[in-house]
């Protein structure tokens, strides 16, 4: 259909008798498909995501994530995990066993804390927009850090706990990065 300048639609141009005849001869002996009563709808497109403007003076001022390490994470050398209240315990068991395929990953190796936080926020926003369910965040084991401590491991876990779309996360299986990565289960937005 053609559009008028005012934005309204106009009827398609009518065909002359010669054009109509030419069309009928070119399609030959065909007939329209029977009407099965089904209506085909176009696919649902996601709503546009508003990108927040960050100031040049303090680019991380609007992210809202704290660097505070919760008590349940602080001082722990063993495997840690997080399950949002209200999520079934079976979910954690499935996450640990690799029930969901990893759809994307983010590698934070060699980044400063501020760089890692900004990258994680951007990554999670993109995952949410794409409707991804399960992702891996590689934070490293801290072997090359100043005190040979996994600084990003605890901070990344803390940041993930603060995001509402994170349902659960756990240490990756050895084949997926072991103690140097976490597998994250995201809430999928309903359309």
**Cα(9)–Cα(5) distance, integer angstroms:** 9
| 127 contacts 135 by C-beta, under 8 angstroms | yes
pLDDT of residue 63: 60
Report if residue 132 sits inside a domain.
yes
- What are residue 96's phi and psi, to 5 degrees? -65, -30
pLDDT of residue 40: 74
| Residue 54 pLDDT level (bands cut at 50, 70, 90) | very low
Report if residue 94 sits inside a domain.
yes
- Domain containing 151 equals 81-186
Question: What does the pLDDT look like over 63-122, one tens digit per residue?
Answer: 666 666 555 554 455 677 899 999 999 999 999 999 999 999 999 988 888 899 999 999
Determine the 3-state secondary structure of 18 from DSSP.
Answer: helix
Query: Where residue 139 sits, what CATH number does that domain have?
Result: 3.30.1370.110
Q: Which long-range contacts (CB under 8 A, 24 or more apart) does 112-115 make?
A: 113/67, 113/151, 113/152, 113/155, 114/60
Report if residue 174 sits inside a domain.
yes
pLDDT of residue 55: 45
Report if residue 92 sits inside a domain.
yes
| 184 contacts 162 by C-beta, under 8 angstroms | no
pLDDT of residue 33: 79
pLDDT of residue 72: 56
Report if residue 175 sits inside a domain.
yes
**Cα(67)–Cα(74) distance, integer angstroms:** 12
Specify the DSSP class assigned to residue 146: T
Report if residue 45 sits inside a domain.
no
Task: Specify the pTM.
Answer: 0.61
Contacts of 120 (CB under 8 A, 6+ apart): 106, 108, 137, 156, 159, 160
3-state helix, strand, coil in the chain (%, to 5): 30, 15, 55
Contacts of 62 (CB under 8 A, 6+ apart): 52, 54, 55
pLDDT at 176 over 90: no
Number of domains in the chain: 1
Least confident of 44-53, 98-107, 139-148: 44-53
Report if residue 113 sits inside a domain.
yes
Better-scored residue on pLDDT, 152 or 170? 170
Report if residue 112 sits inside a domain.
yes
Which tokens sit at 130?
């794409």
pLDDT of residue 4: 47
Question: What does the pLDDT look like over 1-38, one tens digit per residue?
Answer: 444 455 555 666 778 888 888 888 888 888 877 888 88
Residue 107: beta bridge partners?
138
pLDDT of residue 51: 57
pLDDT of residue 144: 66
Which tokens sit at 184?
């994250």
């Amino acid at each position: 259909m053609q559009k008028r300048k005012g934005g309204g639609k106009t009827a398609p141009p009518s065909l002359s008798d010669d054009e109509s005849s030419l069309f009928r001869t070119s399609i030959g002996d065909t007939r329209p498909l029977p009407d099965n009563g089904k209506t085909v709808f176009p696919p649902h497109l996601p709503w546009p995501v508003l990108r927040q403007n960050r100031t040049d003076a303090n680019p991380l001022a609007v992210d809202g994530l704290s660097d505070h390490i919760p008590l349940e994470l602080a001082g722990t050398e063993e495997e840690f995990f997080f399950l949002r209240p209200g999520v079934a315990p079976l979910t954690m068991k499935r996450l640990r066993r690799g029930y969901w395929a990893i759809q994307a990953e983010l590698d934070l190796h060699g980044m400063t804390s501020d760089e890692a936080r900004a990258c994680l926020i951007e990554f999670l926003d993109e995952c949410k927009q794409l409707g991804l369910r399960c992702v891996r965040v590689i934070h490293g084991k801290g072997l090359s850090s100043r005190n040979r401590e996994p600084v990003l491991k605890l901070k990344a876990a803390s940041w993930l706990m603060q995001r509402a779309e994170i349902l659960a996360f756990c240490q990756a299986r050895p084949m997926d990065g072991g103690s140097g990565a976490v597998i994250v289960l995201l809430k999928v937005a309903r359309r």
